[in-house]
Amino acid sequence: MESILIFIITIIVLAYKYLKENKGKIFAIVNKLGLKIISIFLISILVLAIIIENVTQKLLNELEKQNAY
Q: What is the 3-state secondary structure (H, E, C) of 28-62?
A: HHHHHHHHHHHHHHHHHHHHHHHHHHHHHHHHHHH
Tens-digit pLDDT string for the chain (69 aa):
567 777 778 888 877 777 777 665 655 666 667 777 878 888 888 888 888 888 898 999 998 888 877
CA 2 from chain centre, in angstroms, equals 11
Q: Is 45 within 8 Å of 8 (Cβ atoms)? A: yes
- Neighbour tally for 38: CB within 10 Å: 16
Q: Give the residue extent of every domain in the chain.
A: 2-68
What is the CB-side half-sphere exposure of residue 46 using CA atoms within 13 A? 8
